[in-house]
Amino acid sequence: MVEEVLGLVAVAAFGRLIMQAVSLLRNHLGSTEREYLLSSSSSPEKSISVLVRSRSELDSAVQDVLDTAGKDLNTGVSRDALVKYAAELEDRRAYEPLSRSVYITLGRLYKRTGQLQRAIDVLTEFIENKERIGQSDEGLGIALYNRACYLALKTAEVCSEEATALTDQALGDLRKAVELAPRLATVAPSDADFQLIRDRIGEQFSEALRI
């Protein structure tokens, strides 16, 4: 009986240590990362694993890839190099669920390598991550804007009926994007990614930019 009691005490003490560790680690996170973890995981052990990895081994590695990819996206670097950057970021994005830089860069990489649907899917995941914790800010607006760009570009790859549906979705994203990041209303009229739908729908496009 005494051994059982001591065993229970030890388990309880270990549990308290885990919770204290989670609390300490969360205190070193930004508020958005903290909110995401609180909303997505009820397991202290899992929280510790995610927190430790995301703050120690990942940050510098991710930033190096982002810096290099960002520079090379603006040059004539080979497709193979861009594919490599995308693969490296894919390995890490699960630990950076609210990193605008990771998701936006991944979307750009997929666009440049001719993988529009993957670009759309990546941004959709980021948008859902933000919406899950009720976070509506400029970062969400930029993600919506970029997804609208990729949806507009994809209209050239599909039949007319599907193109109409994609155009409607792009306009919906664009309206929300401009509400969250008003400065985008001055960028969209000259953005080459929207050329196809601007030519097709004209006034509807302009109306989507009115706040």
Residue 29 lies in a domain: no
Residue 155 lies in a domain: yes
For residue 87, what are the contacts with CB-CB under 8 A and spacing of at least 6? none
Q: CB neighbours (10 Å) of residue 43?
A: 11
Residue 107 lies in a domain: yes
> Within the chain, how many helices (H) and strands (E) appear?
11, 0
Structurally, how many domains does the chain consist of?
2
* DSSP secondary structure, 1-68, as one string: -HHHHHHHHHHHHHHHHHHHHHHHHHHTS-HHHHHHHHHH---HHHHHHHHHHHHTTSHHHHHHHHHH
Residue 9 lies in a domain: no
Q: What is the tens place of the pLDDT at every residue in 86-100?
A: 999 998 888 899 999
Among residues 135, 159, 194, the one where a domain terminates is: 135
Domain that holds residue 113: 57-135
Query: Can you give the pTM of this predicted structure?
Result: 0.75
Q: What is the tens place of the pLDDT at every residue in 103-150?
A: 999 999 999 999 999 999 999 999 999 999 999 999 999 999 999 999
- Answer yes or no: do 183 and 120 share one domain: no
